[in-house]
Chains A and B, each alone.
Chain A
């Protein structure tokens, strides 16, 4: 099998690039960039080879594997990494490091490496002239390595290692311009928020090992089905679920993602489309057997997802910063994915992850192109960009249409599948909520477009189209955005005999039969949102200011992002700091007191005892002799327990 070596190589290539750039070519920026692009290209090529191999295997075998086990399709290889033998009651510790290539990981590898490759190429233009050019590409390669390693991991422990690496890379890249205080703060915020969530994840996998005795996905999927309904299983699923909540920025861990906009824009594209936030969704898909066996966790997942979708979309309605609007839309779309996974449709969730990766990368890179050209992030200070940046404008509109779910772009198919899945599983409330979010999504995206790209050109802006390093990735992503959705469409299934859902996971997704009613309703919602945005911001027949006045309190609530940051600030400054003061007191008085007291007692005893040392040798001799006499008397006297006689 060629899959295992190529899977290892596709993970190792970016790592090699990172090491090379970090240790050899730091002084030569263009060489560093070239190495990074080359490594990403190698990863992309090998991922594609693997995906083709997996597709070939699954179509010739005629059967689709049972989810994560990947028994019949793909390949799996592992080696013992750490082995501590069992001793007595301690059961020992066996940790393997392995590579798992199955439809899920092969697809994900292609998404990750494709977006990483395009982002790396795009960065050549975007980061031109930056002082940390080499450092940037080193981090970018490390980021790709971490994410690819996470994707091909075959057990929870390895996943966790790469999971943390992904977190570290996001910290490094969000805080890339660390001399800017806001960027440094944002990177810390991202890291700390993720630490909270990762604590849950770590506790979960430790508990998992103590219950099942293995980290391996394949072995677990059989072990778990035997443990259905146990309290431990519910606890494990609940704890592990906290990890994805943090990585994929779901409520209440969402606060780091909008602030992550402080990083360079291509990094935002990478984080939002392929690497960071996708890791959470991917983990849920990978460990789907675990989560699906605990209905309570699934319900929670669905409702947290639905809530986050609505919550983030409503905040996006009033944002002014182009990147923040996109950031909140990512939160909202991730909410959709969680909703899909929660209602039991792994294929719909993964499908949306795939399509979202393309159009969100497109949108962010488009936004980056705009920011690069104008140096402005506030959409109300832009305007009329469509005339000056034709390629950017057209591709951005394609991305926005896809995000809004307009037929036949990528977002339409995946969003529709999620809506059908939530309706099909009896979650009418979530379905209605999803429709509402679709409406809001269309509205805020076209608010952005009509304001920034349409209308009159704002004075003082000298926009120009970006160079080919930036526009070519945009065009490629736009093309993918147009066609990527088709793999989930009924036509694809008719033509090739299998669909995305059945390939990724057993079970046919409901959406593949193209339910005209649901598709019609969601399209109507999107169209309604676009029309309303046009009325308000395009033709200006409804005054935006009057809308803000009418919904005054609500508007302010949205503008302040529901005060979540303020609430967290209050919790941290009041409750945590107060607790900190208490713990500080305990530490300083009780714990330090104990150890300092021990030391002081020793010193006092020493000061008193040294007085017995008179320095007179004859006194010492007398004492020694007396001691010998006493010992001899004791051991030679029966009454005192002696035994000489």
Chain B
């Protein structure tokens, strides 16, 4: 029987994979993909709680739709930033982006 905890475990795993990708990958596109994974892990979490929770209104599903919309916008902006970076520096390696170094 698949219950709430199985969904949560899957969501946690997805989140961790996404986080490691976002933090450890050197390619900017891979970092963006990691962020997407984390967002979708959260979506899964919300939908699971909505399904197994006690609220009558489908709040979790509504939130998930919002997050999908925001994530789409985020990817659009993120890819645009990466594209500009690539044009200026001919590289998408995150380690090279240290303009904030003190």
Query: A interface vs B, CB < 8 Å?
Result: 610-618, 621-622, 625
Separation of A524 and B76 alpha carbons in the complex (Å): 117
A-B contacts, 25 listed (Cβ < 8 Å): A610-B102, A612-B102, A613-B100, A613-B101, A614-B98, A614-B101, A614-B102, A615-B98, A615-B99, A615-B100, A615-B101, A615-B102, A616-B94, A616-B95, A616-B97, A616-B98, A617-B97, A617-B100, A618-B22, A618-B23, A618-B24, A621-B23, A622-B23, A625-B19, A625-B23
Measured CB to CB, the closest approach of chain A to B59, in angstroms, equals 20
Q: A614-B98, A615-B100, A617-B100 are in contact. List 18 more A-B contacts (CB 8 A).
A: A610-B102, A612-B102, A613-B100, A613-B101, A614-B101, A615-B97, A615-B98, A615-B99, A615-B101, A615-B102, A616-B94, A616-B95, A617-B97, A618-B22, A618-B24, A621-B22, A621-B23, A622-B23
Which residues of chain B from 45 to 102 have any CB-CB distance to chain A below 8 Å in the complex? 94-95, 97-102
Chain B residues in 8 Å Cβ range of A618: 22-24, 31, 94
- Identify which of A611, A617, A621, A622 contacts B102 (C-beta below 8 A): A611
Q: Which of A610, A613, A616, A618 has the most CB of B within 10 A?
A: A618
Separation of A621 and B23 alpha carbons in the complex (Å): 7
Measured CB to CB, the closest approach of chain A to B30, in angstroms, equals 11
Separation of A610 and B100 alpha carbons in the complex (Å): 11
Separation of A97 and B94 alpha carbons in the complex (Å): 75
Q: Which of A612, A615, A622 has the most CB of B within 10 A?
A: A615
Separation of A610 and B102 alpha carbons in the complex (Å): 5
Separation of A516 and B68 alpha carbons in the complex (Å): 120
Chain B residues in 8 Å Cβ range of A621: 22-23
- Identify which of B19, B24, B94 contacts A617 (C-beta below 8 A): B94
Measured CB to CB, the closest approach of chain B to A606, in angstroms, equals 9
Separation of A616 and B95 alpha carbons in the complex (Å): 7
Separation of A494 and B19 alpha carbons in the complex (Å): 115
Chain A residues in 8 Å Cβ range of B98: 614-616
Separation of A621 and B35 alpha carbons in the complex (Å): 11
Which residues of chain B from 3 to 37 have any CB-CB distance to chain A below 8 Å in the complex? 19, 22-24, 31
Separation of A615 and B100 alpha carbons in the complex (Å): 4
Measured CB to CB, the closest approach of chain A to B96, in angstroms, equals 10
Measured CB to CB, the closest approach of chain B to A529, in angstroms, equals 90
Which chain A residue lies CB-closest to B19?
Answer: A625
Which chain A residue lies CB-closest to B94?
Answer: A618
Which chain B residue lies CB-closest to A613?
Answer: B102
Q: Which of B24, B101, B102 has the most CB of A within 10 A?
A: B102
Chain A residues in 8 Å Cβ range of B97: 615-617
Chain B residues in 8 Å Cβ range of A616: 94-95, 97-98
Chain A residues in 8 Å Cβ range of B95: 616
Which chain A residue lies CB-closest to B97?
Answer: A617
Q: Which of B19, B23, B31 has the most CB of A within 10 A?
A: B23
Separation of A611 and B31 alpha carbons in the complex (Å): 25
Chain B residues in 8 Å Cβ range of A612: 102
Question: Which 6 pairs from chain A and chain B are nearest by CB?
Answer: A615-B101, A613-B102, A610-B102, A615-B98, A615-B100, A618-B23
Measured CB to CB, the closest approach of chain A to B102, in angstroms, equals 3
Which chain B residue lies CB-closest to A616?
Answer: B98
Separation of A101 and B31 alpha carbons in the complex (Å): 90
Separation of A618 and B102 alpha carbons in the complex (Å): 16
Chain A residues in 8 Å Cβ range of B99: 615
Separation of A616 and B99 alpha carbons in the complex (Å): 9
Which chain B residue lies CB-closest to A611?
Answer: B102
Chain B residues in 8 Å Cβ range of A611: 102
Measured CB to CB, the closest approach of chain B to A441, in angstroms, equals 84
Which chain B residue lies CB-closest to A610?
Answer: B102
Separation of A588 and B102 alpha carbons in the complex (Å): 34
Which chain B residue lies CB-closest to A609?
Answer: B102
Chain B residues in 8 Å Cβ range of A610: 102
Measured CB to CB, the closest approach of chain B to A625, in angstroms, equals 7
Chain A residues in 8 Å Cβ range of B102: 610-615
Chain A residues in 8 Å Cβ range of B19: 625
Separation of A616 and B31 alpha carbons in the complex (Å): 13
Chain B residues in 8 Å Cβ range of A617: 94, 97, 100
Separation of A612 and B101 alpha carbons in the complex (Å): 9
Separation of A484 and B23 alpha carbons in the complex (Å): 104
Measured CB to CB, the closest approach of chain A to B38, in angstroms, equals 10
Chain B residues in 8 Å Cβ range of A614: 98, 101-102
Separation of A614 and B19 alpha carbons in the complex (Å): 20
Measured CB to CB, the closest approach of chain B to A615, in angstroms, equals 3
Separation of A126 and B36 alpha carbons in the complex (Å): 98
Separation of A610 and B24 alpha carbons in the complex (Å): 23
Chain A residues in 8 Å Cβ range of B101: 613-615
Chain A residues in 8 Å Cβ range of B22: 618, 621
Separation of A258 and B43 alpha carbons in the complex (Å): 96
Chain B residues in 8 Å Cβ range of A622: 23
Measured CB to CB, the closest approach of chain A to B46, in angstroms, equals 18
Separation of A186 and B23 alpha carbons in the complex (Å): 80
Which chain B residue lies CB-closest to A621?
Answer: B23
Measured CB to CB, the closest approach of chain A to B76, in angstroms, equals 19
Separation of A613 and B19 alpha carbons in the complex (Å): 21
Separation of A617 and B99 alpha carbons in the complex (Å): 10
